[in-house]
Structure formats: structure tokens, C-alpha cells
Amino acid sequence: MTGRDAARVPFGAHSVPYAPGTLRPSGDQAAADRQVLEHYWRWKASFLRSGDEVGGRGRCAVFTPDAAHPFVAEAQGYGLVITALMAGADPDAHALFDGILRHVLAHPSANHPDLHAAQQDAGGRDVGGRNSATDGDLDIAYGLLLADRQWGGGHGDYKALALRRIDAVMEREVHPGTRLTKLGDWSSGRFDEVSRTSDWMPDHFRAFRAATGDPRWDEVLDAHLALAGALRTRHAPATGLLPDFVVDTTSGEPRPAPGKVLESPHDGDYHWNACRVPWRLGADAVTSGDARTWAAARGLSRWARTATGGDPGAIRSGYRLDGTAYGEAGSPAFFAPFAVAAMTEGETGDEGGEGEGEAAQGWLDALWARMCGSPPDPARAYAAGVQLQSMLVVSQNYWVP
């Protein structure tokens, strides 16, 4: 695969400024870019599959050895976002993006043709019901908007494909009453009252509003940020942590899952889904400057900094909402997102004040050093994808279309 045309927002250009007050790692920007690029090459070599491995010439897909199946929607969404952001550094980025997109389009959900069947086996066959996962579709639509900004036109017109998918997400994966994201296009019955906090992607909702002009996306944004604030106040006032899953979103006061709802007994804890929240909230904060996401991300960063004594190596892979740790230490899926949140500990002029100066900068620098010293594990696609995208944000190579 070879590059075909120039990127309009090339990696390393830093042409889209972040919000005033955003912290950045100490040191040389070019060196930070090189660290991200090194991690990208390793991610690409470890997890991108092409050709006959994924159904034929011209196709690519992100391989997930640590998931229930080799190819899952979440990973394809990550792949589209990453390759669009790496344009200008990787001459194959455009072709890789189109290859992943071909895989996605070849596997529509059985419930809606413009959503993605969430799982494929090693033979490229849809498995697990051929239905969708909301987080995958959100990132796929967002990736298409990035591609439209980067390259325009292309495979089936990126903008048209994005608009169709965004509309399908609104139709099938957003609750019409609460405006909260559902688990997928299959959610009904008791699952109609469940939302997964890692699907709460404020910058995506803003991009969808801008692309479509649909004011319902303003309602989606406001509903998620209001609920995030209420959950922190009622259930995690000392930490700001959110649970993996929220229940009773339509029938009463939304609350953390009381136990296993979908995946594990830790569905109500800060576990392997919610670990992405500091990244998602922080990315919106530094790109939009919204006081709501800024305050939420800053609160998470300050709690983590205090709880660990400023040592990223002490971040554990699982917490109760009161901050009690139960997981092992060391996964990038947990420590990398806190680096994004740490960017909000700079001066903003809001009620947070000037932060804590040297301690905040030292915390961000320590997290950055931890990420740079943690190469992607070829057996851990999930953590590698979360880490690389967190590094893209922290190095100021992220932007909202």
C-alpha cells in the first residue's frame, strides 16, 4: 500500500491549537512526536492485518488477540481514528484507512445496514449475533469525519458515509427519551436502561452536531455531561470516578450497576471500560475548553495524583468508586488515560484556579515518561490502542473535525 495524496492536517503540524491553560509535557515537541511515531510503528506492526487474513485484497483490519474474537468493532474504530491522525507521517495512512473501512463496510449489522457487526472470527465470518457495539460505531463515524477533513472524497465519499452512520447511531444507539447512548443496536428490555460510560465521547458528539446540524446532538452532549456530574456527586464525591455501566437510566435515578449487568461483577466499578473515561473527558476538555469536562478531568487527575503519591506505576487496574484499589498495577489502559486528564491541571481562570504548579507538571511528565517507556505489547491490542490514542492527545497531535 502506498500514500496517494497529501494530508490537510498532517501529523506533527500542531496546526489545531488546544484550549488555553492546557499543560503539555516538558521538553522538546519534536522529541514527543518521535515517541508517538515510534509507538505507532509498533502498533501497526503488531495489530494491522491485511489481504487474505481479513477477507481479500485491499482490506485491512485491526487484530485483537486479547478480545473474545480476532476482529471487533471497537478496534476497527480505533484503527480508523489512528490512521487518519497519522496521515502525513505514514505514507500508507490513507490506504490503511480505506482498507479498514472496506472491512467495516463488508460487515454491516443485521439490525441496520449503516452500523457495524461488532465481531468477526479468524475466517472473517460475523459472530455473536451480527449486531452492533455503540463505541465502535461512534469511533467509525468520527474516523470518517477525520478522513473527510484529511483527504475528502475517497472510498464512497467519507462525509456521506459519516452522515449515514451518525444518523444510524442516533436512530438505533441513542435512547430517544434520555438521549443517553445504549449498548448497541440490540439493546431492549432491561438493557434499554443501561449505558456504558466509555461510550460517553463528548468531542464525538460535538463533531456529529457540527457535521449534521442536528440539534439532538446538543441534547446528547448535555445529557451525558449532566449524568456524569450527578454520578460523581452522588456516588464518587472523593474521587470523581465513574463506573463501567450505569443502570436505571429510564425508570428511576441512574446509578452504578449493582453487580454484573453485562460483563463482570465489577460492572459498577471503575474497571476495564471506565478506565477510558479520563482520556475521553480530557480530550474534550483540551480541545473544546468546556468547563464541565475540564472540571471532571481535572478532578480525576488530582485524585489519581494524590492517591498514587505522583507515581504512575502505582495506578491499579481497577478501583471501587470510593478509590479502593483491587486490580494489579501496570496496564497502559489505566495509566495512559490519566495523562490526558493531567493536561487540565494548568491555568484556566475557572474555579479550579492555577492548580498546583510544579506538582501538576511533574505528574504529567511522569505519566508521559511512563507511556514512552511502555512499548505496545503484541498480545494486548486494547491497552495498546488506548495508550497510542492517549499519546496522540498528550503530544497535541489530536484534533476534532
Within 78-236, strands assigned E span: 119-120, 195-196
* Cβ atoms of 14 and 29 closer than 8 Å: yes
pLDDT for 347 equals 64
Are the beta carbons of 339 and 367 closer than 8 angstroms?
yes
- 135 noted as active-site residue: yes
Helices (H), 19-157: 29-47, 73-85, 93-105, 134-150
Contacts with 10 (C-beta within 8 Å, 6 or more apart), sequence order: 87, 88, 89
Instruction: Name the catalytic one among 33, 74, 126, 137.
Output: 74
Residue 327's pLDDT is 93
Could you give phi then psi for residue 187, rounded to 5 degrees? -65, 125
pLDDT score at 168 = 98
pLDDT of residue 53: 80
- Determine whether 267 is an active site residue: no
The whole-number pLDDT of residue 6 equals: 85
Q: How far, in Å, CA of 76 to CA of 139, rounded? A: 8
Q: Tell me if residue 213 falls in helix, strand or coil.
A: coil
Residue 321 confidence (pLDDT): 98
| Tens digit of each residue's pLDDT, the chain (401 residues) | 344 568 999 999 999 999 999 999 999 999 999 999 999 999 999 999 998 788 778 899 999 999 999 999 999 999 999 999 999 999 999 999 999 999 999 999 999 999 999 999 998 899 988 999 999 999 999 999 999 999 996 555 999 999 999 999 999 999 999 999 999 999 999 999 999 999 999 999 999 999 999 999 999 999 999 999 999 999 999 999 999 999 999 987 999 999 999 999 999 999 999 999 999 999 999 999 999 999 999 999 999 999 999 999 999 999 999 999 999 999 999 999 999 999 999 864 344 444 478 999 999 999 999 999 999 999 999 999 999 999 999 999 999 99
Neighbours of 351 (CB within 10 A): 8
Q: What is the pLDDT of residue 181?
A: 98
For residues 45 and 68, what is the distance between their CA atoms, to the nearest angstrom? 21
Cα–Cα nearest to 182, from 132, 107, 140: 132
pLDDT of residue 353: 46
**Active-site position among 92, 98, 126, 135:** 135
